[in-house]
Structures are given as structure tokens and as C-alpha cells.
Amino acid sequence: MSNREPIVVGSIAAAPGERATGLVQVHLGGEHVAVLPIAIIHGARPGPRVAVTAGIHGAEYVSIAALREVVLGLDPAQVSGSVVAVLTANPSAFAARSIYVNPMDHLNLNRQFPGDPAGSPSQRLAHWLTTHVIAGSDVFVDMHCGDMNEALVSFAGIENTGDAAVDARSRALADAYGLRYLLIGPSPGTTTTAAAALGISAVLGEVGGQGRWPAEDVALHAAGFRRLLKAAGVVETAPDQPWHQSQVLPYESWMRATATGYWHPAVEVGQAVAAGTSVGEVRDAFGAVLERPAAPVDGVVIFLVTSLAMNAGDPLLALAGEEPPK
């Protein structure tokens, strides 16, 4: 639970009942790593500390827009506890409109956690976020969407830590988010896995994609985050729960290209696919088929790469299902 002392993150601080915003210079080992826009909402009443990030992948715009909308609209007088928000967590990728990777070192930031203070820029940034934002919180939320080249169906993600109380809280918070699917399982190197290792209840939220931020997607993400804040005890009001209950899909399988060429998917995001079904073709410049990948498991297409360009090793799509791969 948050104390009544000021909350300090980098160069900005907020006393109880205050809001503070600013750009935080991140330097580690004498190297410039990032300039992060951070907002601290320190509630007038005691309560939990919620840390939240958006834009870990710089072109995931729905998450960035939704977090800004919610956090900048919070009134500290109506908040119990606090919210520490990194509004754009990978600013170099955001500025470069870069998919997947930080252009400073061409690494995927969300595979570098908990980070390394003596590593590359992404590894140093992951370390700083882990130690200055995630650590010390009671709840951690990482807001995402499909990258600029990805469509996806909305889902939340959590993982089991083995601590019954932590896991039950993660599940309750993910249920409050109210997205279409709930994925359960570890994702090594990610923010939520780093939080879980610290014994912190953590939720991943994914809505929208393809380099767009339509109002309906931003509203869906924002409403889910507000419901999570209410469930955590930070705010007293939030939008109503959606009519559906999230379908739990505990097993996830990513498919990656083995050839470089032109991607022609044969499935749609959200579609249920049977194992063995062709999900599309990677062709060469003249239309010859280089590979025709088949679904390795039964599952729902959670995200789908929608760019024509495809490189060997890049994701094609991900399937999530109720049964483990055979």
C-alpha cells in the first residue's frame, strides 16, 4: 500500500493529493538511454500503488493514447493510493515509427526484462523501468496493442507465480479489464514476467493495432484500464463490465516465417483454426510459393501480421487455444 511520503521517480515527485508530470532523463553507466514522459498521480487517500506502461513497442498507438486519456484525467483528490505511469516507454522507437525494436540497438525491449544496467540501450532501459517503476508497486499493468504491421483481437494476459494471493489478484484484475480473451502463461523477458518474479500482480492488456488509434479502440482500452483501477481500489467509479466473460486460452503458439518474401495470409484475426490448416503463403516476387505454413495446434488467431513484406524469422501470427500442443 502506498505511504504518505512523496513518490519520486527520477527527477519528478508528487506529494499526497498531487499530480506531477515531466520528462525523466534516463542515464545508466554514463550513457544516455531515453527521455521518458512520466505522470505520477498521488492520491489524497492511502491505497495501492499501481505502475503502468504503454508504448513498450513504439508504434503501438492505441495503448499510448488510452493511457494518456485515463491518467491525465485522474483527479488526485478522488484517488486512493497512486498511479505511476510511463506514457511512452520506448521513445526512440516511437519517434522512428519502428516496429518491434528499439532503433538504438535493434532489440525488442519487451524481451530484455529485467534488464542489465551494463548492457545495450534496451537492456539498460529495461533495468531502469524494472527498478524505478515496476519494483515497489502493488500492481503492474503493461498496455499494448498490435504493432504497426499487426491486427489482433483484444485480450489480457497474466501468468501464475505460485503465490496464490498474487495470482488470484492478477486474475481478478484481468477479469475486470474485460477483454475478449484471457491468456495465461509466462513470456520470458517481458515486463509482466519481471513483475511476476518480484511477486507483483501484473496484467497485460492488448487492444487494436496496425498503426491506428481509432476512437472505439482507445475507448475499449481506456475503459478496461479504468475498471482495473476500480478493482484494485484506486478509483471508485468505472465503466460497466462488458456483457461477455473473457474466454480463457491457456496455451499460445507463435508461427514464424522461414522464408523472406511476400506474405499472403489465408486466415483472419479472431478466426478459429484447426491444426494442420494452411494459414497462408509466403511467395517470391514472381508469385512462386516459398512456404505454406500450417497451424501446429487448434486455436484462435490472436494476432496476425498484415504487412505484405515478410522476413525469415519474423512472426506470421499467434494461435491461442484451450489444449496444449500435441
- The pLDDT confidence band at residue 245, using thresholds 50, 70 and 90, is confident
pLDDT of residue 31: 86
CATH of 251-321, one of 3.40.50.300, 3.30.70.260, 2.40.50.100, 3.20.20.140: 2.40.50.100
Tell me the Ramachandran region of residue 132: left when phi exceeds 0, alpha when psi lies from -120 to 50, beta otherwise: alpha
pLDDT of residue 252: 92
pLDDT of residue 122: 98
CA separation for the pair 68, 84 (Å, rounded): 12
- The pLDDT confidence band at residue 1, using thresholds 50, 70 and 90, is low
> In angstroms, what CA-CA distances link 88 with 64, 66, 82, 123, 262?
6, 11, 19, 17, 31
CA separation for the pair 305, 68 (Å, rounded): 26
Closest CA to 324 of 298, 294, 304: 298
pLDDT of residue 29: 82
- The pLDDT confidence band at residue 246, using thresholds 50, 70 and 90, is confident
Delimit the domains of the chain by residue range.
7-247, 251-321
CA separation for the pair 168, 176 (Å, rounded): 12
Res. 2: pLDDT tops 60 = no
Tell me the Ramachandran region of residue 100: left when phi exceeds 0, alpha when psi lies from -120 to 50, beta otherwise: left
What are the pLDDT digits (tens) for 41-88? 999 999 999 999 999 999 999 999 999 999 999 999 999 999 999 999
Within 10 angstroms of residue 324's Cβ, the number of other Cβ atoms is 9
Res. 125: pLDDT tops 60 = yes
Write the CATH number of the domain with boundaries 7-247: 3.40.630.10
Out of 72-81, 127-136, 196-205, 239-248, pick the least confident.
239-248
273 Cβ neighbours under 8 A, 6+ residues apart: 267, 279, 295, 298, 299, 300, 301, 319
What are the pLDDT digits (tens) for 249-297? 988 999 999 999 999 999 999 999 999 999 999 999 999 999 999 999 9
DSSP designation for 146: -
| Backbone CA torsion sign across 28, 33, 39, 45 | negative
Res. 144: pLDDT tops 60 = yes
The pTM of this model reads: 0.95
Res. 324: pLDDT tops 80 = no
Res. 235: pLDDT tops 90 = yes
Within 10 angstroms of residue 323's Cβ, the number of other Cβ atoms is 12
What mean pLDDT, rounded, does the chain reach?
A: 96
Of 123 and 324, which is predicted with more confidence? 123
pLDDT of residue 280: 98
What's the whole-number mean pLDDT along residues 123-138? 98
